[in-house]
Amino acid sequence: MLTPKQQGFFLPAEWEQHKATWLAWPYDTTSFPDRVEKVEQVYASIIYHLHKTELIELLVLDKAMQSRALSLLKQYHIDLNRIIFHIVDYADVWTRDYGPIFLINKEQKLAWTKWRYNAYGEKFLDLLKDDKVVYQLRDYINLPNFQIDMVLEGGAIDTNGQGILLTTEQCLLNPNRNNLTKPEIEKNLQQYLGIKEIIWLKQGLINDHTDGHIDQITRFVSHDTIAIAYEDDQNDPNFAVLNENYRILQNYPFNLIKLPLPKMQYADSSRAPVSYTNFYLANELVLVPQFKDFRDKQALDIIQSLFPERKAIGIDCTDLIYGGGAVHCITREQPM
């Protein structure tokens, strides 16, 4: 069988027009201890903004959860005709990582790829069943699909839509993901995502259970411009890693835009892996994580300047981050 690349498919940039955003309604008290209801409010706010410009494909466990979600969405005056519910057996909300990765070709036809999901190197065994979520949605999606026996989370990669891919060695070369060589991984990315060149950064943020997802440190904002999380304080534990990533990117012909690094502690005083690069690009808007940090407005203003045709909207992620991610981690775009 021909690979996606051989059939002309490639991974589009996130800023291309969307048909829908895929989300999974939150319920897991392990991910969100003592704060599921607060996270539900965050979801309702996100859906409120997104549903104005694209459809919402929303996973729920059962009819009872669907009714609960509907009740809350009604309070936000959301047009429920733009919400499509799917009763699916899932463990957690990270559709970015276990959801279908959609591809497109020059004729604007869609396909999708199914990669293995092993709950971040089998750190969370109760999440392993999310590897099977897409099989429950295959008939509904009803598009050509390609499966590959390689672990890859969607948050580990980012593209400019012109064949350039960003990722980290800490994640993709981690032995808890794959027993593959770097050339073998590169070949799979090239053949199954239509990639031409891969830019390897080294590591991600400290205390990031994803082992260095790229969407927490570096994102394409246009074909030739990259936003990168940066820390000026040399005493900060993230300084060395982020500075090294910045130096690597200086070797490539891209405009580099520094985003400040917010700081937040969990209730146990440990450092949370928070970053403004975890924004989500939707039709006509960009959702920007906020962490009740004095840098929030600066980051929001920078991102707004990078997307003048979109409205930058801040989303409070101080509860959502207890699960280890923010806005980008819970969303999965489906191109038009």
CA 187 to chain centre: 22
DSSP 8-state class, residue 65: H
DSSP helix/strand/coil, 239: helix
Set 329, 331, 332, 334: catalytic member: 329
CA–CA gap between residue 3 and residue 271 (Å, rounded): 42
* Overall domain count for the chain: 1
10 Å Cβ neighbour count for 140? 11
Q: Confirm whether 190 is domain-assigned.
A: yes
**What is the per-residue DSSP string for 264-329?**
-B-TTSPBP---TT--EEETTEEEEEE-S-TTHHHHHHHHHHH-TTSEEEEEE-TTGGGGT--HHH
Predicted confidence (pLDDT) at residue 1 exceeds the cutoff of 90? no
Q: Confirm whether 6 is domain-assigned.
A: no
pLDDT tens, residue by residue, 229-266:
999 999 999 999 999 999 999 999 999 999 999 999 99
User: 3-state DSSP: the chain helix, strand, coil percent, rounded to 5?
Assistant: 30, 25, 40
Q: Confirm whether 3 is domain-assigned.
A: no
The CATH number covering residue 157 comes to 3.75.10.10
pLDDT tens, residue by residue, 10-59:
999 999 999 999 999 999 999 999 999 999 999 999 999 999 999 999 99
Q: Confirm whether 8 is domain-assigned.
A: no
Average pLDDT, the chain: 98
Q: Are 195 and 11 in contact (CB under 8 A)?
A: yes
Length of the chain: 336
Q: Confirm whether 11 is domain-assigned.
A: no
Domain ranges, residue 135: 18-335
Active site includes 329? yes
Q: Confirm whether 13 is domain-assigned.
A: no
Q: Confirm whether 181 is domain-assigned.
A: yes
